[in-house]
Amino acid sequence: MINHLRSPSVSSRLPRATAIASTLLALFALTTACVAKSGTSSIPTLEKNGAQAHLMVDGAPYLILGGQVHNSDTSNPEVLNKAMDVLASWQANTVEVPIYWEAIEPSPGHYDFSSVDLAVNAARKHGLRVVLLWFGTWKNGESQYVPDWMKEDQAIYPHAKGPRGEVTTTISPLSTAAMEADARTFAALMRHIKSIDETQRTVLMMQVENEPGIVNTDRDYSDAANKQFDAAVPGALLTYLDGHRQQLSAPMAATLSHAPKSGNWTQVFGEKAPEAFSAWTISQYVNTVAEAGKREYALPMYVNVWLIEGVERPGRWPSGGATVNVLDVWKAGAPVIDMLAPDIYYPKFYDVASQYTRPDNPLYVPEANFNPYFAAFAFTTFGNFNGIGFNPFGIDDVVTKGDIGAAIGMRFQDTYNVLRPLLPLIASKQYTGKLHPVLQGLANGEDWKQSVRLTDRLAANVDFTAQFDPVKGRAAGMIIELAPDDFVVVGTGFDVTFREMQGPLRDAELISIEEGTFQGDQWVRTQRLNGDERHVSLPDHSTILRVRVAK
Ligand code: DGJ
């Protein structure tokens, strides 16, 4: 079914503009590498200005156009390098790579950072930056990656218990010994990263833990946990929630709407009490770990979230993870964490992105479904939500999953090829109202048309050139306003008509349509389109057009 999406070779399918863009990018990468070698770059930071946030890298806003490798790749250099080959061929700029606690601390206090060096060196070799994922106490709501010596010593590192006293596969968030061990090792990891990367700054951010929470129970039911659960909710949490009433997530606002201002967990949070309790204990644990790491090397840090999908109960998803129900508990419990970041496998990408885009939480998508129609959401992340990064999960499927993997990869490659040269421009236009994303099927019945208001004077009528097909992907792109009469139109699967909105209804007079790309902030034209080609049309592969309209 998917075979027809394949074309004979990747390079033969690339438009000329993209080939030129590749050369220019290579030059750009070289220049960046020279700057990095001279040791002038500063540590990446998440710079916040009111409700705006930018990831600053080498002194400029940086958008992560990345991808995540499979969980076990870091234990095999060949596999890891092949996965990075995929990202490099897409023109991605960043790779997300897991680092395993069990690998770096084989016996207590003895560290082996070879897997970290492998990840960083492989990224450098591929011209990629890297986000490292700390698989510490938590991995998908369990404790699979803690070292063997911890797994074998549950007296010192107790696991959470379920309601019938059953022992779970998750270390208890109340275990001070586990928390201190995790914090100590994470600190050592950050110290090591600083020692190998202070000059080049290949490592951009850290993901602290992976989808923390507890699976198969809504909270820890150990005696110690029961005692805390029956006691009063800590004042620090109540004060935070009360002081941030205007910005609470909708489910939290609903939970608290009839709640007393104080009381035990059940009195304050009602049926959400076990999830809120888990979120509070886990967020504080993670905060301690992140704080210890930042003391050594203060990279931006985020926590990823296994989302609630459909009708489920906490414990089906890792209870206590930063779901929309308890996101505000995390904000109170883990102030050192810069972002709570949704792993979006769920078709309602837009809805989830809306929930995780707040003045106190810029959108970062550490994992998205590696599915052809998710490629479009890169435009959505950067354009609709001013997001700082987008990463499909398991990108090595391109080389390991035969035709299906290759076909999915083509779709991401097509999108990434045009987005990469535009990233500095897009970053500079975020929060200005000059990015106008196009997305097929955003609202019901919008499979054929979208109308976009560009300026006071101009609108864009977008016609999708084919019906939305989940296998092929959906039409998507962006119209970027460079000036009131000057636009970049990028994407695939749609035509655009510029319309005057003042005076009699009519099409705007077009001065020129050019195909090309950007080199830094310089437009590089590859072809001027006129005569039979005088259309703003981006039908079947991603293209960058520049359209000038009469003043
Ligand atoms: C989400 C996790 O965070 C990843 O590590 C991986 O397990 C994926 N799920 C698999 O779909």
Per residue in 494-517, pLDDT (tens digit) is 999 999 999 888 999 999 999 999
Residues 402 and 453 in one domain: no
The token pair at 181 is 């061990």
User: Phi, psi (5° rounding) for residue 480?
Assistant: -115, 125
With tokens 């959505």, the residue in question is 380
Q: Which domain holds residue 455?
A: 435-549
Residue 470 is predicted with a pLDDT of: 76
CA 74 to ligand 1 centroid distance, Å: 15
Mutate to test the pocket of ligand 1, among 133, 208, 209, 211 (most ligand atoms within 8 A of CB): 211
Do residue 503 and residue 534 come from a single domain?
Answer: yes
Torsional sign, CA 161, 167, 168, 172: positive
Runs of H (alpha helix) within 5-113: 10-13, 16-37, 77-90, 101-104
Determine the pLDDT at residue 165: 97
Nearest atom (ligand 1) to Cα of 71: 5
Domain boundary among 429, 458, 493: 429
480 shares a domain with 404: no
Ligand 1 center to residue 316 CA distance, Å?
A: 15
Q: Is 211 in the pocket of ligand 1 (CB under 6 A)?
A: yes
User: For residue 29, is it within any domain?
Assistant: yes
DSSP element (H, E) containing 68: strand 64-68
Mean pLDDT of 123-137: 98
* Helix 402-429 with 77-90: angle, nearest 10 deg: 60
Going by CA atoms, what residue is nearest to atom 2 of ligand 1?
140
What would the mean pLDDT of 308-336 be, rounded to a whole number? Answer: 95
Q: Is 404 helix (H, G, I), strand (E, B) or coil?
A: helix
Instruction: Please tell me the predicted confidence (pLDDT) of residue 445.
Output: 52
The whole-number average pLDDT for the span 453-480 is 92
164: nearest Cα among 122, 216, 204? 216
* Rounded distance between C-alpha atoms, residue 476 and residue 412, angstroms: 12
Three-state DSSP class for residue 438: strand
- Statement to judge: residues 493 and 420 lie in one domain: no
Q: Is the CB of 207 under 6 A from ligand 1?
A: no
For 131-172, write each residue's pLDDT tens digit.
Answer: 999 999 999 999 999 999 999 999 999 999 999 999 999 999
- Flag whether pLDDT at 4 surpasses 80: no
Residue 193 lies in a domain: yes
Last residue of a domain, one of 387, 413, 429: 429
State how far the Cα of 489 lies from the Cα of 495, in Å rounded to an integer.
10
Q: Which residue has the tokens 């590696």?
A: 370
Residue nearest to atom 11 of ligand 1 (CA): 393
8 Å CB contact between 290 and 207? no
Confidence of residue 378 (pLDDT cuts 50, 70, 90): very high
Distance 268 CA to ligand 1 centre (A): 33
Helix (H) or strand (E) holding 439: strand 435-439
Cα(397)–Cα(83) distance, integer angstroms:
8
Domain end residue (candidates: 383, 409, 429) = 429
* pLDDT for 409: 96
Residue 195 C-alpha to ligand 1 middle, in angstroms?
30
Residue 73 beta carbon below 6 angstroms from any ligand 1 atom: no
Whether 40 is in a domain gets the answer yes
Q: Are strands 94-100 and 64-68 parallel, antiparallel or unpaired?
A: parallel
Q: Is 433 exposed, middle or buried (0-12, 13-18, 19+ CB in 10 A)?
A: exposed
Write down the pLDDT at residue 446. Answer: 58
- Do 403 and 452 lie in one domain? The reply is no
Which single residue is written with the structure tokens 């951009």? 204
The verdict on 442 and 356 lying in the same domain is no
- Give the pLDDT band of residue 347 (cuts 50, 70, 90): confident
Average pLDDT over residues 77-84: 98
Nearest of 534, 493, 539, 542 to residue 514 by alpha carbon: 534
Q: Which pLDDT belongs to residue 21? A: 43
Q: Is residue 15 included in any domain, yes or no?
A: no
**401 C-alpha vs ligand 1 centroid, how far in Å?**
17
Are 425 and 440 contained in the same domain? Answer: no
Would you call 507 helix, strand, or coil by DSSP? strand
User: What amino acid occupies position 469?
Assistant: D
Would you say residue 332 lies in a domain? Answer: yes
Mean local confidence (pLDDT), 344-367: 96
CATH of the domain at 347: 3.20.20.80
Assess whether the C-beta atom of 343 lies below 6 angstroms from ligand 1.
yes
Task: Indicate whether 13 belongs to any domain.
Answer: no
Ligand 1 center–CA 440 separation, angstroms: 27
The pTM of this model reads 0.92
Same domain, 350 and 365: yes
On whether both 407 and 448 belong to a single domain, the answer is no
Q: What are phi and psi of 408, to 5 degrees?
A: -65, -45
Q: CB of 393 closer than 6 A to ligand 1?
A: yes
Whole-number Å distance between alpha carbons of 94 and 266 = 44
DSSP assignment of 143-161 equals: -TTS-HHHHT-TTTSPEEE
- Residue 208 CA, ligand 1 centroid: distance in Å: 14
Tens-place pLDDT, residues 234-287: 999 999 999 999 999 999 999 999 999 999 999 999 999 999 999 999 999 999
* CATH number of domain containing 442: 2.60.220.20
CA-nearest residue for atom 8, ligand 1, is 393
Domain assignment present for 228:
yes
Question: Tens of pLDDT along 12-45?
Answer: 323 434 444 444 444 444 334 433 444 458 999 9
- Does any ligand 1 atom lie closer than 6 A to the CB of residue 71? yes
Asked if 457 and 414 sit in the same domain, the reply is: no
* Distance of alpha carbon 369 from alpha carbon 349, whole angstroms: 10
Q: Which of 34-43, 135-144, 366-375, 420-429 has the lowest mean pLDDT?
A: 34-43
pLDDT at 364 over 50: yes
State residue 325's pLDDT score: 98
Strands 301-306 and 339-344: parallel
CA 464 centroid distance within chain: 27
> Residue 254 falls within a domain, yes or no?
yes
Question: At 469, is the pLDDT very low, low, confident or very high (cuts 50, 70, 90)?
Answer: confident
pLDDT > 70: percent of the chain: 92
Nearest CA to ligand 1 atom 10: 393
